Structure 1
């Protein structure tokens, strides 16, 4: 492809226009979707909005109170999708079990336990089996100040029954609990399940003589509520927009679908809605090229390929010939490419190392036009090679080992 037609500055200015929080199902996300549609119209592309509904959880009460041998309430964030305590909360002896080793867990019965790091499916089941009364987890670092003292927010995924509830506590407060010898604590968590509306934005460029085959280029445009998500993932959205502009001017042989997914941060809800909406044409889809995490100057570019290992080798050869260095990982990736691979469509996610994901620090200040241009050229080189090839260089299939991992992944998600 002609690298001179790709503008890092134009992408940077695009990201700059979205320097606000775009949590799924909120007015911020809706505003962003309308701006993306407007950008497509200005480019002469017929963009469309595909609305979908998804389930979310709203915290109504989240509390952690030490009742013995001293009394103090600490700032916490409740685990979403983790059920509700009784209205008066759950009070029990407190025990710090560090990483949740088997020895420590043997003393957890009837206690509210504190664990290093977030609790996910496996650890949750261990806590339930150990008959813990509740849990507290630790987030943040000992050098945090100001806004960074807010505990991280988590969602418990892949658990049908939630007999115990938990909250997240900042590192500094967790240290105080241990140092002051907290003996008895009370955890209260109340939340409700709600339905929200999001939307995917898509634009299609019909291929010339191989239009029956579809290539997708995608990125999510929603953010977490903690920050404006420039790195995760408006930079990725800018890359897809830049390539839509390029292929609108340099028409492909295969049909190309450009997609901006909503509600990715809530569990890949946008891409799941897309494959459901387009189920009848999925047999035409040949490859998904997704971007998630991009735009920071210092870092390494990684492409996670969920397909046969030969696809990694083929893409590596293409990029080597173009003089573009990247690393490859052959496995499943925690992004929207997984959804396509789950449906049997080979897929990849382009990812760049960076700082501040899911925090207030994820702003335009850390984004680089140079990095945006480079990543757009990497992805564009792959996309053009596949769009113009006489024959697709790999089969439309996903290895059985990845299929099993994807089944487990979506059960948890």
Structure 2
């Protein structure tokens, strides 16, 4: 069996089974885990599930009403993990503060403010410091229709939430661009913001399969991808395509037993904060000193684009990967930095790591469907990854330092809120 037997169409068929939303902790995510195990069983691979629980927030009401000089309620999406307003909501003067600059925020105390961007850690803390009563963020574009009119929001980071007491929390919602334009044009002066949510516990799961090595079985390589999606779309590009690629490499390596042990992991709850990979390194802590390299895939499969490998390791890994890619003739570039995916978790624990990524369209939207994927692209990515994995599994000694540069360690500690 040569790498020419790697099939893009087989990967397309696999991804087509998952053309539905798989939000972490839901029955649809659990169904996806079962389908992954069925696929592994179809070519003789044993697998097992590792379950884990996580806390999340369930929003029961998110509403924004302008009460002066006109009365209108707008469609809103609530921010998770920022507490709840009183049942009747919070009513206050309304102020558009654009980018949340210091000058605009100097007039914001006690007001419900509207900002141009999704509110994340730094802006949230600035809003608290400014003493605002609540916040509204803007998403979308002036040409959106239908489902695209649903506004976006986010979750306040767990570490930020834990660092604040309940009285310090400020609640927020997201509205669509066109509604924001109307509010400013019509001179909105007062608003009522209501956000009701409760903390709930959910269960997710990792799917794991292992090919035991021969004479270097005590050294472990991992190939990983997440299979959950955001609630806004079915996540074919982000990231069932990645799940399909490592499945195809698993099929290949089963017929070419490696010298080193190769572990394949399909992570749940990546979109909730890399929770699947964080659970994995915690549960497998005793064997982490045996891990030599993590090869993660996140965002893949669309035809028009370019392959980028984000390397969180010594710069020599970039040179090595470029050399291996040249042997395949498949184009790619490297970036030596931390990467916003599960490879970060491995690097955080001192394991050199990479994420294979391809440019694409529709991430975290309802456009992220299998129809935008390409068998040609999937096949090329799987061939590239299979060559990297097979080369590293069979080489006499790992050709790069088994540590993480100090600058990355500091960035990763900040990323994970240490």
Once residues 90 and 103 of structure 1 are traced to their aligned partners in structure 2, the CA distance between those partners, rounded to angstroms, is 24
Once residues 56 and 371 of structure 1 are traced to their aligned partners in structure 2, the CA distance between those partners, rounded to angstroms, is 35
Which one of 364, 377, 380 corresponds to residue 370 of structure 2?
Answer: 364
Shift in Å, 1:351? 0.6
1:152 aligns with 2:158: no
- Could you tell me which residue of structure 1 aligns to residue 96 of structure 2? 96
Once residues 81 and 398 of structure 1 are traced to their aligned partners in structure 2, the CA distance between those partners, rounded to angstroms, is 32
- Could you tell me which residue of structure 2 aligns to residue 73 of structure 1? 73
Once residues 192 and 329 of structure 1 are traced to their aligned partners in structure 2, the CA distance between those partners, rounded to angstroms, is 40
Post-superposition Cα deviations, 1:218-273, rounded to whole Å, max 9, x if no partner, equal: 00001111111100000000001000000000110100000000011111110011
1:390 aligns with 2:415: no
Q: Matches of residues 177-326 of structure 1 in structure 2 within 5 Å?
A: 177-326=183-332
Once residues 260 and 115 of structure 2 are traced to their aligned partners in structure 1, the CA distance between those partners, rounded to angstroms, is 51
Once residues 301 and 181 of structure 1 are traced to their aligned partners in structure 2, the CA distance between those partners, rounded to angstroms, is 47
Once residues 244 and 281 of structure 1 are traced to their aligned partners in structure 2, the CA distance between those partners, rounded to angstroms, is 21
Post-superposition Cα deviations, 1:99-139, rounded to whole Å, max 9, x if no partner, equal: 11111111111111111110111011111111111110001
- Could you tell me which residue of structure 2 aligns to residue 82 of structure 1? 82
Aligned length: 412
1:329 aligns with 2:335: yes
Post-superposition Cα deviations, 1:136-193, rounded to whole Å, max 9, x if no partner, equal: 0001111000111011131111313252111000111011110000000011111111
Secondary structure of the structure 2 residue equivalent to 1:265? helix
Secondary structure of the structure 1 residue equivalent to 2:209? strand
Secondary structure of the structure 1 residue equivalent to 2:272? coil
Once residues 201 and 48 of structure 1 are traced to their aligned partners in structure 2, the CA distance between those partners, rounded to angstroms, is 6
Secondary structure of the structure 2 residue equivalent to 1:73? strand
- Could you tell me which residue of structure 1 aligns to residue 28 of structure 2? 28
- Could you tell me which residue of structure 2 aligns to residue 117 of structure 1? 117
Once residues 153 and 305 of structure 2 are traced to their aligned partners in structure 1, the CA distance between those partners, rounded to angstroms, is 26
Post-superposition Cα deviations, 1:73-124, rounded to whole Å, max 9, x if no partner, equal: 0000000011111222111111111111111111111111111110111011
Q: Matches of residues 54-69 of structure 1 in structure 2 within 5 Å?
A: 54-69=54-69
Structure 1 unaligned segments of length 5 or more: list them: none
Task: Point out 4+ residue stretches in structure 1 off by more than 6 angstroms.
Answer: none
C-alpha contact 2:293 2:353 (8 A) present in aligned 1? yes
* Farther off after superposition, 241-250 or 148-157: 148-157
Once residues 92 and 289 of structure 2 are traced to their aligned partners in structure 1, the CA distance between those partners, rounded to angstroms, is 55
Q: What is the TM-score when the length of structure 2 is the normalising length?
A: 0.97
Once residues 163 and 20 of structure 1 are traced to their aligned partners in structure 2, the CA distance between those partners, rounded to angstroms, is 34
Once residues 120 and 377 of structure 1 are traced to their aligned partners in structure 2, the CA distance between those partners, rounded to angstroms, is 37
Structure 2 unaligned segments of length 5 or more: list them: none
Shift in Å, 1:322? 2.4
Once residues 103 and 14 of structure 1 are traced to their aligned partners in structure 2, the CA distance between those partners, rounded to angstroms, is 53
- Could you tell me which residue of structure 1 aligns to residue 354 of structure 2? 348
C-alpha contact 2:3 2:252 (8 A) present in aligned 1? no
Secondary structure of the structure 1 residue equivalent to 2:127? helix
C-alpha contact 2:111 2:132 (8 A) present in aligned 1? yes
- Could you tell me which residue of structure 1 aligns to residue 107 of structure 2? 107
Shift in Å, 1:194? 0.7
Shift in Å, 1:2? 3.3
